[in-house]
Amino acid sequence: MKRLLILPLLVFGVFAQEPEHELRFADPVLVEHGGVTSVTIPGELLLLEEEGRPMVPYARRVDTFPKGYRVVDMKLSRVAEPESILDITLPVVQIDAYLDNPPPMTPGYFPKEQFRWELFDNADGSTVLVTLIFPFHYTPEKRLGVFHSSYEFELTSVETGVSITGIGTERPTFDPGDAVAVALGLENTGGAQAVTVEAGVYEPGSDRRVERLGAKKLTLDGAETIALTWNTGKGTAGDFEMRVSVKDASGRELDRDVAWFRVGRPAAELTGFEAAPDPFKPGEKVVARFRVENTGTCAISGEGVLAVSRGGSLVEEIREKFTGLKPGKDRAFELAWDTEGAERDAVYGLAGLARFEGGATEAQRTEASTNARPVASFTASAESVAVNEEVEFDASGTTDPDGRVAQLEWEFGDGGTAAGPKVRHGYSEPDSYRVRLLATDDKGRPAAAELVVVVTGD
């Protein structure tokens, strides 16, 4: 095993005998505009992965190791003394571009960690080490920034023929109470070697272990696949990861990997969607009501949404959050769209849906306008006739509350069509035919009415 003090900026896989030890950052650049100070570090990136957090600079390094070498640990051995930057207000991360106002900034020291690293396997057996370093930290409630100009790391690597060749579950999601089986592929390209496989289930991205699984000992010679099983409880739900470590007889880690999975199937259904008034007066609130039911096997959190559109383009989204909705339970929503600024006689599409972890419900739709729909209505001289007997259809009862009826179009259910307030039609085959009248007013808004005509062979 080799223990090296190295710089993430350098190529780790070279294993130089006297590598540079220190990673230094240029001084941060502060630009103030409108009471908000943007902080950048020349040559580095901005951390934008979590909405509501301050926008801080960070560094990312990617390095490759040749086949046969594994990075098994990386520790921070020294960090420069902090330099304080007082009385600054950083911009907040806003992931959703549709929000008119940025979200409130989450309080607390951020980022909480100094660095993180992750190892990825290539198909040729080499590995890629991705290291994220966080030299700038911010506490919003104190308006205080802290900068570290340099870091020193200790890297632990091992040369071995033992490796994990694959890890995964049979499916990504399990129901509470299921047994989660993880298949672990192992390979030893050297001689037969005694190894121990240790595994535990953890909450993602944390050191909080949910359950430790029993160690498995085996003599590895060539390739082998073993199964690791976690029996979930009835109340278990959430995202989890099974972390696996392969060690030699002396306890040195030879390889590690992670399998990600979810316990609990998130699903929901939206019902009872309706919106009123229609028509509306400009400035009047149009209120949409609907219910969201949790049809999955775990609690869900998300938001009910009323999406307003015109001509296929989104005009506005009105949202209301919900948390911890349990399986089999539902939640009522009442979302209001303020129509101030709505164009007269324009037709607006209204869609209700719910977004939650892992998906969204199917949207239910209606529309609203300042222009009232026409009231489509018609009569038939008979609703049961013989083959080739003509039926007279009369739409003279169709009206428009705030204008006039501009067009009347007919579909007779057998492919035949016509136009006008009064029409006649006969059928050549016995069957049941759905007759449809489409009425359009002088501002282009349609309405429809239907009835069924039964044609017999007599």
pLDDT value for 97: 64
pLDDT value for 158: 82
27 shares a domain with 141: yes
pLDDT value for 8: 36
Most distant CA atoms of the chain, gap in Å: 103
Backbone phi, then psi, for 246, in 5-degree steps? -110, 125
CA distances for 144 relative to 12, 33, 58, 83, 132, angstroms: 34, 17, 17, 10, 22
135 shares a domain with 65: yes
Backbone phi, then psi, for 448, in 5-degree steps? -135, 155
> What is the CATH number for 416?
2.60.40.10
Give residue 225's domain range: 162-263
pLDDT value for 458: 65
22 shares a domain with 131: yes
Tell me the pLDDT of the chain (458 aa) as tens digits. 333 333 333 333 333 323 335 789 999 999 999 999 999 999 999 999 899 999 999 999 998 988 878 888 889 999 999 999 999 999 999 987 666 678 899 999 999 999 999 888 787 878 899 999 999 999 999 999 999 999 999 888 888 889 899 999 999 999 999 999 999 999 999 889 999 999 999 999 888 999 999 999 999 999 999 999 999 988 788 889 999 999 999 998 888 889 999 999 999 999 999 999 999 999 999 999 999 999 999 889 999 999 999 998 999 999 999 999 999 999 999 999 999 999 999 999 999 999 998 789 999 999 999 999 999 999 999 999 999 999 999 999 999 999 999 999 999 999 999 999 999 999 999 999 999 999 999 999 999 999 999 999 86
Q: Has residue 374 been placed in a domain? A: no
Q: Has residue 437 been placed in a domain? A: yes
| Whole-number Å distance between alpha carbons of 291 and 325 | 12
149 shares a domain with 211: no
314 shares a domain with 214: no
256 shares a domain with 318: no
358 shares a domain with 241: no
Q: Has residue 319 been placed in a domain? A: yes
Q: Has residue 88 been placed in a domain? A: yes
Choose one of 313, 342, 369: the last residue of a domain: 369
pLDDT value for 99: 63
Q: Structural domain tally of the chain? A: 4
Tell me if the pTM is above 0.75.
no
233 shares a domain with 123: no
55 shares a domain with 186: no
Q: Has residue 308 been placed in a domain? A: yes
Q: Has residue 114 been placed in a domain? A: yes
Per the structure block, which two tokens stand in for 118?
A: 């992750």
Residue type, 283: G
Q: Has residue 440 been placed in a domain? A: yes
126 shares a domain with 247: no
> What is the CATH number for 136?
2.60.40.3800
123 shares a domain with 97: yes
147 shares a domain with 182: no
Choose one of 263, 290, 313: the last residue of a domain: 263
Q: Has residue 29 been placed in a domain? A: yes
Choose one of 263, 278, 304: the last residue of a domain: 263
